[in-house]
């Protein structure tokens, strides 16, 4: 694997993210001897032990600054499995009924909520009231109102709220952002994003409105939205959207299949985007300026990602996204570091407002919907 570690370290430091958080930040010329991490550790409990919760848990084996210490589930058998597999202490295991007693456990710092979208709010608020920092998967909630209530609850409790924007820490994504911020691409003239995959089991929670809050837009579509924002450096001021549904049996009322949408940016350009649950190989971010371009394809999957510019292929390390995310978030919580674009509740709320505007445009036959701050 080719890497350009020293350059990436410098670029990431320029983005205001603490270097100490990330596992690749050893000196490129240092001895191969591994020096044990001796700093502060963020103790994490994962709530929701499904496939993605397991992916995060596995990734955290690579972390230096974040440590998996607890689990929360409504399934006793899963708790026992995780206790054995990850060496968790029995006192750090909770079910959904006794979860609130986590407030009495000083060994857990943060709860990572990895449940169906609509359930994020209640668990996040319960964790905040227990005095624990909160990480929630994206989209951060089932709707804008729930997202706002989550932010308010965490502010009231004096805890941090973050959203699982793993790509904000990922090297190829960071390089695209650096190219745009540095001016190497020049004036941004066009942004195009495509995200989609063919969803499988028709009985899964992602195809149930009462759990997902929507369809593809509430899952893969948020990547298209977020990529326009960090790819352009602009906040959209209006949206228009159109939906195509070829399988109304699988994609019932309130579950979108394929949406194409446009976002108007303050600089006058129109970003062209799509989101789908009906076809694979749609995973691309393209940003064009008057001096050059940057493209990621694949752009949003778990890896390996690939990128190119007008100067040739991007040379970035292939990493475990969730490990970088968790160490980066640990640095934010423990050391007060920051990253741009951020991964806080306000960032999540911005995407939620755009999603709601897209759905509103579809309800109004593609009418332009202005976005409010």
What pTM value is reported for the model? 0.91
Helices 221-232 and 345-363 pack at an angle, to 10 degrees, of: 120
Query: Cα(181)–Cα(175) distance, rounded to whole angstroms?
Result: 10
Query: Cα(163)–Cα(144) distance, rounded to whole angstroms?
Result: 14
Looking at residue 198, its pLDDT comes to: 97
Calculate the CA 93 to chain-centre distance. 25
Count of other CB atoms within 10 angstroms of residue 165: 27
* DSSP code, position 140: S
Are the CB atoms for 344 and 154 separated by under 8 Å? no
> How many helices (H) and strands (E) in the chain?
10, 15
For the chain, the straight-line distance linking the first and the last C-alpha, in angstroms and rounded, comes to: 43
Report the run of H or E that residue 321 belongs to, with start and end: helix 321-335
Tell me which residues of the chain have a pLDDT lower than 70. Answer: 1-34, 373
Task: Please report, for the chain, the start and end positions of each structural domain, with discontinuous segments joined by +.
Answer: 39-163, 184-316+346-370
Neighbouring residues of 22: CB distance < 8 A, sequence distance ≥ 6: 12, 169, 324, 327, 328, 331
Are the CB atoms for 66 and 60 separated by under 8 Å? yes
Domains 39-163 and 184-316+346-370 share a fold: no
Q: What is the CATH number of domain 184-316+346-370?
A: 3.30.360.10
Neighbouring residues of 104: CB distance < 8 A, sequence distance ≥ 6: none
Q: Provide the token pair at 278.
A: 């009906």
Query: Does 39-163 carry CATH code 3.40.50.2300?
Result: no
Looking at residue 265, its pLDDT comes to: 98
Residues carrying an active site annotation: 138, 223
pLDDT tens for each residue of 115-133: 999 999 999 999 999 999 9
Calculate the CA 270 to chain-centre distance. 24
Are the CB atoms for 116 and 136 separated by under 8 Å? no
pLDDT tens for each residue of 175-206: 999 999 999 999 999 999 999 999 999 999 99
Q: Provide the token pair at 210.
A: 């009462």
Q: Provide the token pair at 367.
A: 């009418």
* DSSP code, position 302: S
Looking at residue 33, its pLDDT comes to: 61
26-62: burial string, b at 16+ Cβ within 10 Å, e else = eeeeeeeeeeeeeeebbbbbbbbbeebbbebbebbeb
Beta bridge partners of 195: 275, 283
Query: Cα(266)–Cα(340) distance, rounded to whole angstroms?
Result: 19
Looking at residue 342, its pLDDT comes to: 98
Beta bridge partners of 287: 191, 294
Are the CB atoms for 227 and 299 separated by under 8 Å? yes
Neighbouring residues of 264: CB distance < 8 A, sequence distance ≥ 6: 236, 237, 238, 239, 270, 271, 368
Say whether 143 sits in a helix, a strand or coil.
coil
Looking at residue 16, its pLDDT comes to: 47
């Amino acid at each position: 694997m080719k890497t350009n570690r020293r350059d990436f370290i410098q670029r990431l430091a320029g983005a205001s993210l603490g270097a100490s958080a990330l596992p690749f930040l050893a000196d490129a010329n240092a001895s191969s001897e591994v020096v044990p991490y001796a700093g502060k550790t963020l103790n994490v409990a994962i709530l929701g032990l499904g496939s993605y919760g397991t992916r995060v848990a596995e990734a955290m084996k690579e972390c230096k600054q974040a440590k998996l210490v607890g689990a929360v589930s409504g399934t006793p058998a899963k708790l026992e499995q995780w206790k054995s597999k990850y060496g968790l202490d029995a006192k750090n295991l909770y079910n959904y009924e006794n979860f609130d007693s986590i407030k009495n456990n000083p060994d857990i710092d943060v709860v990572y909520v990895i449940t169906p979208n609509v359930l994020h709010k209640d668990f996040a608020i319960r964790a905040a009231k227990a005095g624990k920092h909160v990480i929630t998967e994206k989209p951060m909630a089932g709707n804008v109102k729930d997202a706002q209530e989550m932010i308010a609850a965490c502010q009231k409790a004096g805890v941090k709220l973050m959203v699982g924007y793993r790509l904000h820490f990922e090297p190829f994504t960071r390089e695209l952002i650096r190219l745009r911020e540095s001016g190497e691409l020049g004036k941004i003239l066009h942004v195009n994003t495509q995200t989609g995959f063919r969803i499988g089991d028709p009985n899964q929670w992602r195809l149930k409105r009462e759990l997902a809050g929507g369809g593809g837009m509430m899952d893969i579509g948020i990547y298209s939205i977020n990529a326009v924002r960090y790819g352009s450096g602009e906040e959209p001021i209006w949206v228009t959207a159109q939906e195509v549904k070829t399988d109304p049996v699988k994609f019932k009322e309130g579950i979108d299949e394929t949406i194409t949408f446009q976002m108007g940016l303050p600089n006058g350009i129109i970003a062209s985007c799509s989101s789908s649950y009906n076809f694979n190989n749609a995973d691309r971010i393209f940003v064009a300026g008057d001096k050059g371009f940057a493209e990621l394809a694949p752009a949003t999957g778990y890896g390996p990602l690939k990128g190119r510019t007008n100067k040739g292929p991007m040379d970035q390390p292939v990493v475990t996204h969730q490990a970088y995310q968790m160490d980066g978030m640990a640095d934010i919580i423990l050391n007060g570091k920051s990253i741009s674009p951020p991964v806080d509740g306000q960032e999540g709320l911005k995407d939620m407002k755009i999603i709601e505007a897209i759905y509103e445009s579809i309800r109004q036959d593609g009418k332009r919907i202005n976005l409010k701050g």
